[in-house]
């Protein structure tokens, strides 16, 4: 874990309250402060309001009560998770120039080169932002946050879509970064490497608790504190129940006994005030399975595997970027992979080599050199949730995905993924990123697919849910094709086949 010298207070929340409409509190009289140079992880259950807290720091939202004090002259920048629609057609140069609205930055080119080197990304300044892969866009957004050299750096799931090299570069940068940083992430090893402590946003109490120390130790400390509170409340409940029984007995008596009853009632009120506000551990989704489509046995016997690869297209690294090339032409490689019921294919390779492009082509039936058995239903988990209609309700989104299930079954599946009754009529766009991820998993359970295509299924998901999800994918009886940069998650799945695009490209026939 990193250490730092204590500087002046650069950020302070003083009795800050914020809510979304009536009865939807996010923060309730929150107090905490951060000093210059501190690096903190921001924890909290999906939907607790972590992204909202960032918006309050940025000034995009205003508190309803209290005040947020930022040191005079301090600059703030955020590493966003996704590009805005209007940014897709910008060139790299135009994209970074937009970080300085209304200003003419004469040394913009060396500054771009500096931040692109930090995130290990190389491309010509004339290249369109839309031409980058998902992982490359993640690096680009991080570089955008860094180019202004902010005094307070906010990072929202910065490792999403990054390959191992990208995460290593980011970790090295954050270890050397001498300014204030707050990071939302579900990757414990990553956070342990550079953070000094945790800001814990309690979804039940709407408070922010501040802890100092190793991230893993803080998680244990929070769990232990919740357990202590639970035990103390149980003791107080027993004491209160006993005293109420005694009070009822003495209250029915006359004379001196009534005075005893009055004193007992006062004691009961004191004990009730000692009860700690109910705190709960972040809930974990229960064990679940994704039902696999039962494909026709005759068709399987006639056609062989459910999915067969004879060729794959790979996008080579942009080594020609400095020569002014905008993007490289895909290279076709011959392969032989046959996937049958229960097989699991892990696709690997560095950012930008075409993993997401390949998965999209598989899911939409446009992949060259790949055959899929007739009639197989394909479930597709997109890393950016672009397949979701943000204007549609949660209920209608689930209903559109469901195959042969009742309304009762649909609502039961939704509840298992923490999509409560109150959320069913909400628009998908109003959900947190973590809730959108759980919605996508609920869709897959209801769709009962024969083939699962999954692009970075751990993105945005609370770390407590990940082992449950890994076990569900491991038990899936259809064909699973997936990409994941999280080694610990991959270890929990019995992978039967691997396709390393980087290794395949590096073979002797590479052009």
For residue 7, what pLDDT is reported? 74
| Structural domain total, the chain | 3
In this structure, are 120 and 227 located in the same domain?
no
Q: Are 4 and 147 in contact (CB under 8 A)?
A: no
Name the residue range of residue 420's domain.
297-505
In this structure, are 127 and 199 located in the same domain?
yes
| Residue linked to tokens 């009762």 | 408
Indicate which CATH number applies to the domain containing 431.
3.40.50.300
Distances in Å between the alpha carbon of 228 and those of 232, 233, 275, 353, 501? 6, 9, 12, 50, 50
In this structure, are 109 and 187 located in the same domain?
yes
For residue range 14-32, what is the model confidence (pLDDT) as tens digits?
Answer: 999 998 866 678 898 999 9
In this structure, are 419 and 312 located in the same domain?
yes
Helix runs in 177-303, H state only: 188-192, 215-251, 256-274, 297-303
How far apart are the C-alpha atoms of 69 and 66, rounded to whole Å?
10
In this structure, are 189 and 336 located in the same domain?
no
Tell me, yes or no, whether 112 lies in a domain: yes
Q: Which of 213, 246, 263 is the last residue of a domain?
A: 213
Q: Which of 196, 213, 230 is the last residue of a domain?
A: 213
How far apart are the C-alpha atoms of 345 and 483, rounded to whole Å?
9
Helix (H) or strand (E) holding 293: none
- CB burial readout 168-183, b (16+ within 10 A) else e: ebbbebbeebebbbbb
| Residue linked to tokens 């992430």 | 185
In this structure, are 267 and 405 located in the same domain?
no
Tell me, yes or no, whether 510 lies in a domain: no
In this structure, are 209 and 239 located in the same domain?
no
Tell me, yes or no, whether 284 lies in a domain: no
For residue range 431-451, what is the model confidence (pLDDT) as tens digits?
Answer: 888 899 999 999 999 999 999
Tell me, yes or no, whether 233 lies in a domain: yes
How far apart are the C-alpha atoms of 60 and 65, rounded to whole Å?
16
Give average pLDDT by consecutive 10-residue segment, the chain, 511 residues: 66 92 82 92 81 92 93 90 84 92 87 88 89 83 90 88 78 89 85 88 84 77 74 79 77 71 74 58 82 71 77 73 51 92 93 88 91 92 88 95 91 92 90 90 96 91 87 96 90 95 74 47
Tell me, yes or no, whether 101 lies in a domain: yes
Distances in Å between the alpha carbon of 207 and those of 27, 77, 219, 418? 6, 24, 16, 21
In this structure, are 306 and 448 located in the same domain?
yes
In this structure, are 186 and 227 located in the same domain?
no
In this structure, are 408 and 268 located in the same domain?
no
pTM, two decimals, is 0.67
Strands 207-212 and 197-202: antiparallel
Tell me, yes or no, whether 43 lies in a domain: yes
Distances in Å between the alpha carbon of 172 and those of 149, 166, 177, 197, 215? 16, 10, 9, 18, 18
In this structure, are 242 and 208 located in the same domain?
no
Tell me, yes or no, whether 244 lies in a domain: yes
In this structure, are 251 and 344 located in the same domain?
no
């Amino acid at each position: 874990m990193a250490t730092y010298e204590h500087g002046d207070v650069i950020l302070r929340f003083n009795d800050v309250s914020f809510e979304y409409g009536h009865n939807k509190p996010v923060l309730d009289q929150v107090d905490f402060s951060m000093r210059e140079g501190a690096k903190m992880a921001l924890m909290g259950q999906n939907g607790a309001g972590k992204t909202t807290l960032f918006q309050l720091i940025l000034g995009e939202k205003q508190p309803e009560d209290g005040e947020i004090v930022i040191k005079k002259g301090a600059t703030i920048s955020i590493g966003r998770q996704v590009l805005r629609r209007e940014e897709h057609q910008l060139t790299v140069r135009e994209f970074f120039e937009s970080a300085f609205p209304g200003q003419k930055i004469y040394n913009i080119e060396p500054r771009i080169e500096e931040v692109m080197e930090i995130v290990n990304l190389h491309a010509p300044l004339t290249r369109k932002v839309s031409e980058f892969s998902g992982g490359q866009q993640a690096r680009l957004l991080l570089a955008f946050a860094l180019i202004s050299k902010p005094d307070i750096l906010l990072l929202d799931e910065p490792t999403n879509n990054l390959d191992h090299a990208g995460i290593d570069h980011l970790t090295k940068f954050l270890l050397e970064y001498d300014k204030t940083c707050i990071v939302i992430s579900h990757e414990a090893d990553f956070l342990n490497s550079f953070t000094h402590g945790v800001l814990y946003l309690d979804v039940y109490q709407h408070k922010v608790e501040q802890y100092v120390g190793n991230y893993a130790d803080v998680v244990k400390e929070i769990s232990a504190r919740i357990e202590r509170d639970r035990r103390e409340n149980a003791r107080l409940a027993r004491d209160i129940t006993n005293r109420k029984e005694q009070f009822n007995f003495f209250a029915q008596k006359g004379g001196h006994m009534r005075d005893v009853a009055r004193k007992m009632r006062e004691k009961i009120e004191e004990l009730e005030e000692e009860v700690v506000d109910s705190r709960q551990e972040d809930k974990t989704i229960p064990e679940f399975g994704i039902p696999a489509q039962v494909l026709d046995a005759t068709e399987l016997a006639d056609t062989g595997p459910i999915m067969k690869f004879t060729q794959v297209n790979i996008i080579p690294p942009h080594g020609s970027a400095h020569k002014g090339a905008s993007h490289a032409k895909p290279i076709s490689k011959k392969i032989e992979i046959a996937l049958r019921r229960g097989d699991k294919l892990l696709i690997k390779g560095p950012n930008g080599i075409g993993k997401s492009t390949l998965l999209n082509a598989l899911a939409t039936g446009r992949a060259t050199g790949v055959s899929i058995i007739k009639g197989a239903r394909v479930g597709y988990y997109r890393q950016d949730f672009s397949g979701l209609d943000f204007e549609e309700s949660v209920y209608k989104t689930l209903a559109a995905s469901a195959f042969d299930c009742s309304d009762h079954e649909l609502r039961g599946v939704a509840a298992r993924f923490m999509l409560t009754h109150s959320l069913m009529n909400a628009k998908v766009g109003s959900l947190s990123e973590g809730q959108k991820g759980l919605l996508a998993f609920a869709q897959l359970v209801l769709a009962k697919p024969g083939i699962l295509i999954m692009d970075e299924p751990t993105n945005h998901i609370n770390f407590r849910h990940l082992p449950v999800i890994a076990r569900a994918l491991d038990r899936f009886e259809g064909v699973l094709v997936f990409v994941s940069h999280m080694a610990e998650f991959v270890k929990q799945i019995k992978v039967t086949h691997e396709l390393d695009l980087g290794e395949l490209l590096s073979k002797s026939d590479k052009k």
